[in-house]
Structure 1
């Protein structure tokens, strides 16, 4: 067992932390909707740094990182960038949209889409969630009907990360309604395709630096060459991307938690009550220790999942546990940081920002309840419940 990164990965971590602090500093937008031009400017900077294409093979413009190195880079990104929403958008682009193209795309699709998506010139979004189908991904109502050498897409997608700024969409639709695992198909659809429209950006409680909106498909015609993988392979495409997302995306939260933990320790050391620093009180110091334990425990679980993913191990439990451990730890650390900052904790600052950004983490990438279902089923429990753990 070796808990240290190799020299190359450590150098990348340090470079990303410096870059994020220097170029991506500043709090997330307070009104919940990031400025489009500023978002693009920061995105292009992240592209030049290699962040938006880190796991894509070098021949397509990426850096070719494995899952461990990618998680290390995302952790450094989350630590250096105070806008966790922006880091979340980068991770969603990379792990939910680019990874499916890398793993399932044809050579023509890879050469057409990946270079610009890796450079920061273009942005990708993964459209799967619907108003009536969140965790029940096999119950999608969006339809794709074959018409000669084209497909016609009809439906509405909700909560689509990056939708307001996306140039490319990976869209999941049912080609065989009621067909179960083999009833879904993934498509690569360019923004501006007639019939594809994006709604206004959401104003969210957390992850405000990540632009999110609905996507409507109204007679959207795409060529058969837009199919990702093969017809009926959509569920497999989605499952593959979720292994990466539930592992590497959540590494950004590790960095954010470490940043807030450090600032909370510093605050406890200088804030005085009754003539002594509040860190001298056992109730405070023990809470800080518990925060540290939560962060370190979650970190170990996540990097174990990344280690297995880097070695090609087909394990659905490790990513589910990583997602559970990190998201639950982020909420707890956020709550504790707010408590230790007292009245200042409910004003604008790192503590309350982490808490707001952590709340969605228990929902996206499959709710934590679904992750528990998945793990329970892997342990031989709950398998008799119809539809349990579909996502």
Structure 2
């Protein structure tokens, strides 16, 4: 085992950290507002730096990073960019939007969509969640009916990250309603397709820099070559994207936690009470040690999952454990930082209160932590697998089949 990055990855991390600190701070806005033009400006800058397509092969305009290097990039982005929502949008675009096209797309689809999505010219969104299908992702009501030389999509999607700014949607719909794992199909759909409508942007507790909206599909006709993978492969597309997202996207939270822990350590060394720096008080120092412990433990789990993904492991448990560990550590680190900073911790615009707000949804998206625990328990042989579910995931450490 080697816990150090190679020289190229370290150099890349330093570049991303410096770039994010210099260029990715958002323009000031009033509470609840979102500056779409400024978001696009920063997105194009990130595209020029190779960030939004980093894990895509270089043949299609990406940087060809492994999962470990892509996670390192996201960690540096999360540490350097004060807007964790922006980093989250980059991760959702890359890991839930582009990587499914890389892994399941035809050569024509890859060459048509990936270059502009990697350069920052276009933005992707993955629409699967519905009002009645959140955790129960296999029972979608949005459906796709084969008609002539294509399909007609109808239904409603909700809470779709990047929807207000997306140029391309990866949309999941049922082609065989009630067909379980093989009843879903994924489609790549341009945002300007007639019948596709994006609703108003949601105002959220956290990740405010990541635009989110509902999507309506009313008689949305797409050609047959819009199918990603094959008819009935939608659940496989989604599962593969979640492996990337639950691993690499969550590395942004590692960076955000690092930024907050470092700032808290500095504050504890400067803030004086009763004639001493508060970092000398055991109650304070032990809390900071616990913050560091949670961060480092979650980081090890995440990079273990990233290493498995890079090696082609079939293990689905490591990403689930990493997702649980990182999201719950981020919430606790945010709470601890707010407590140690006192009134400064709850003043708007501070790193501590921002981390806490941004961490709250991390326990929900990419599959709730309760669902992740169910998946891990099932892999351990606890409980019964629902009818029609996929074979149980491999346990951590199991050799991958090639």
TM-score range, shorter chain: over 0.9
Deviation at 1:358, TM superposition (A): 0.1
What is the aligned partner in structure 2 of residue 323 from structure 1? 323
Would the alpha carbon gap of residues 361 and 230 (structure 1) be closer, same or farther in structure 2, given more than 3 Å must change?
A: same
Would the alpha carbon gap of residues 33 and 240 (structure 1) be closer, same or farther in structure 2, given more than 3 Å must change?
A: farther
**CA–CA distance in 2 between the matches of 1:228 and 1:387?**
22
User: TM-score if structure 1 supplies the norm length?
Assistant: 0.98
Deviation at 1:33, TM superposition (A): 3.9
Is 1:10 matched up with 2:10?
Answer: yes
- Answer yes or no: is the 8 Å Cα contact 2:27–2:38 preserved in 1: no
Q: Which runs of 5+ in 1 are unaligned?
A: none
Deviation at 1:31, TM superposition (A): 2.6
What is the aligned partner in structure 2 of residue 59 from structure 1? 59
Deviation at 1:383, TM superposition (A): 2.1
Would the alpha carbon gap of residues 22 and 103 (structure 1) be closer, same or farther in structure 2, given more than 3 Å must change?
A: same
Matches within 5 A, 1:211-230: 211-230=211-230
Q: Which runs of 5+ in 2 are unaligned?
A: 394-402
Would the alpha carbon gap of residues 386 and 285 (structure 1) be closer, same or farther in structure 2, given more than 3 Å must change?
A: farther
What is the aligned partner in structure 1 of residue 248 from structure 2? 248
**CA–CA distance in 2 between the matches of 1:28 and 1:246?**
30
Work out the number of aligned pairs and report it: 391
Matches within 5 A, 1:164-243: 164-243=164-243
Would the alpha carbon gap of residues 385 and 110 (structure 1) be closer, same or farther in structure 2, given more than 3 Å must change?
A: closer
Deviation at 1:86, TM superposition (A): 0.1
**CA–CA distance in 2 between the matches of 1:97 and 1:29?**
28
Would the alpha carbon gap of residues 26 and 281 (structure 1) be closer, same or farther in structure 2, given more than 3 Å must change?
A: farther
- Answer yes or no: is the 8 Å Cα contact 1:29–1:208 preserved in 2: no
Deviation at 1:34, TM superposition (A): 2.2
- Answer yes or no: is the 8 Å Cα contact 1:28–1:85 preserved in 2: no
**CA–CA distance in 2 between the matches of 1:29 and 1:98?**
30
Deviation at 1:275, TM superposition (A): 1.3
1:268-323 CA deviation, whole Å, 9 max, x = no partner?
11111111111111000000000000000000000000001000000100000010
Deviation at 1:387, TM superposition (A): 8.8
Superposed CA RMSD in Å reads: 1.6
SS of 2:144's partner is strand
Is 1:160 matched up with 2:160?
Answer: yes
SS of 2:378's partner is helix
What is the aligned partner in structure 2 of residue 118 from structure 1? 118
Deviation at 1:28, TM superposition (A): 7.8
- Answer yes or no: is the 8 Å Cα contact 1:28–1:209 preserved in 2: no
SS of 1:86's partner is helix
Which one is further off, 57-66 or 26-35?
Answer: 26-35
